[in-house]
């Protein structure tokens, strides 16, 4: 079986975790601080705060952005459900806007139509690692005095207008889940360019504690902590951070390798009738966290039949990104149809892409995919 994805973890990550375990400091401590500092340098952001996962990163970002009960936050429905869940965690209402067909990212024009007097923020998602049009959303937020938060769960290593994702906005949230480009088993990071946000994020992730354990441990003077507000246990462990440090060192190489595989798929499937390939807009550099193909209405095989046939041939695949507004948990927010989002969800298929992926595996995916679409051989790559 060729899997859909798998993390790229080596003996270096295992050794880093081993060394951290034997150090005696395994919860949030010096390795977490090191990971934060190096991630901030990598993205070009002034500050980075490590947390337990991207969902908690989004939750804390909502809090520091001042989003609360009675507020509305515009976001895509075409996203993992955590995007909208984080809005509901703070008592606010998610308002779903449609996406662009080419990038599967939030449409600035459709987003502006959804802005009301209750709108407090826009939560933009870099879907499958493809950068959204950040500048367009900064313009919208400036025009209407809104907060911009980036859900960059899939976008570590992606770039927009020559800078890494994480550089552009006040609050950018990353995931290190095993299906992401780099992984710490689970884990998340928030980058910010505001010191006040940075300080409060650190406070909130550890129960609202005024002084964290590492600072008290390293001090040669007696320190008693205070609890300044209701906080959360959203900490990353030093074991996870030690793995993250090693992963971060390889991130640019991993992205380059993923892009090579995506380029092979693009060459093989280019000009093949019935499918539309992922499209990088000008100024975008995608990490290809996933490779998604859209099957147009004139495709000779329907998506689910194709997925089953791939599975029968030993190749895993996945349906297109979910649409949150059609899930049972969000029935009360189903204000209207989102035709582009629904169409992408129903007609897209995600193909295997991971590092290292052997050339034989890439070619097998290409050959089987094309054979299922076209039993009679067709010319490709022209």
Domains 11-249 and 252-373 share a fold: no
- Give the pLDDT mean for 101-113: 96
Bridging pattern class, strands 147-152 and 119-125? parallel
Catalytic residue of the set 180, 202, 260, 297: 180
Q: Mind listing the pLDDT tens digit for each residue in 257-305?
A: 999 999 999 999 998 999 999 999 999 999 999 999 999 999 999 999 9
Q: What percent of the chain has pLDDT over 90?
A: 89
Give the residue with greater pLDDT, 24 vs 109: 109
Residues 6+ apart with CB under 8 A from 121: 62, 65, 67, 71, 73, 74, 146, 147, 148, 149
Rounded CA separation 364/161 (Å): 35
Domain range summary for the chain, segments of one domain joined by +: 11-249, 252-373
Rounded CA separation 156/136 (Å): 21
pLDDT at 228 over 80: yes
pLDDT at 380 over 70: no
Residue 49 token pair? 């705060």
Full-model pTM: 0.94
Tell me which fold the domain 252-373 belongs to: 3.90.1150
Q: Mind listing the pLDDT tens digit for each residue in 111-169?
A: 999 999 999 999 999 999 999 999 999 999 999 999 999 999 999 999 999 999 999 99
- Give the strands of the sheet with 284-285, arranged side by side: 163-164, 159-160, 284-285
CA distances from 84 to 77, 81, 128, 251, 252 (A): 8, 6, 17, 28, 30
Find the radius of gyration of the CA atoms of the chain: 21
Looking at 3.30.70.20, 3.40.50.2300, 3.40.50.10860, 3.40.640.10, the CATH number of the domain 11-249 comes to 3.40.640.10
Predicted confidence band of residue 382 (pLDDT cuts 50, 70, 90)? very low
> In the chain, how long is the greatest CA-to-CA distance?
78
Active site residue 256: no
DSSP 130: P
Find the distance separating the first CA and the last CA of the chain, reported in whole Å: 30
């Amino acid at each position: 079986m060729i899997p859909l994805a798998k993390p790229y973890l080596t003996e270096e990550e295992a050794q880093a975790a081993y060394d951290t375990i034997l150090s005696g400091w395994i919860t949030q401590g010096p390795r977490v601080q090191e990971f934060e500092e190096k991630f901030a340098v990598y993205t070009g952001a002034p500050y980075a705060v490590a947390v337990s996962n991207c969902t908690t990163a989004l939750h804390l970002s909502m809090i520091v952005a001042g989003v609360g009960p009675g507020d509305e936050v515009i976001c895509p429905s075409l996203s993992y459900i955590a995007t909208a869940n984080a809005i509901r965690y703070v008592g606010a209402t998610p308002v779903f806007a449609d996406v662009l067909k080419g990038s599967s990212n939030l449409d600035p024009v459709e987003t502006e139509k959804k802005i009301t007097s209750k709108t407090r923020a826009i939560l933009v998602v870099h879907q499958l690692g493809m950068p959204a049009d950040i500048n367009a959303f900064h313009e919208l937020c400036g025009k209407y005095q809104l907060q911009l938060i980036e859900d960059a769960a899939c976008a570590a290593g992606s770039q927009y207008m020559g800078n890494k994702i994480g550089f552009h906005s006040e609050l950018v949230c990353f995931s290190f889940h095993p299906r992401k480009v780099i992984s710490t088993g689970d884990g998340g990071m928030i980058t910010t360019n505001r010191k006040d946000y940075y300080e409060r994020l650190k406070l909130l992730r550890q129960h609202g504690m005024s002084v964290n354990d590492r600072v008290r441990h390293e001090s040669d003077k007696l320190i008693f902590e205070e609890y300044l507000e209701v906080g959360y246990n959203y900490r990353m462990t030093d074991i996870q951070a030690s793995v993250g440090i090693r992963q971060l060192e390889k991130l640019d190489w991993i992205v380059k390798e993923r892009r090579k595989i995506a380029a092979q798929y693009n060459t093989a499937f280019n000009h093949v009738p019935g499918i539309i390939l992922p499209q990088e807009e000008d100024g975008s550099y995608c990490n290809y966290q996933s490779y998604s193909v859209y099957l147009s209405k004139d495709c000779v095989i329907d998506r689910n039949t194709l997925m089953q046939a791939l599975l029968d041939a030993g190749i895993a695949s996945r349906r297109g990104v979910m649409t949150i507004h059609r899930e049972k948990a969000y029935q009360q927010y189903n204000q209207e149809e989102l035709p582009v989002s629904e169409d992408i969800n129903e007609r897209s298929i995600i193909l295997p892409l991971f590092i290292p992926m052997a050339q034989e595996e890439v070619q097998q995916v290409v050959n089987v995919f094309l054979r299922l679409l076209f039993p009679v051989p067709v010319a490709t790559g022209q």
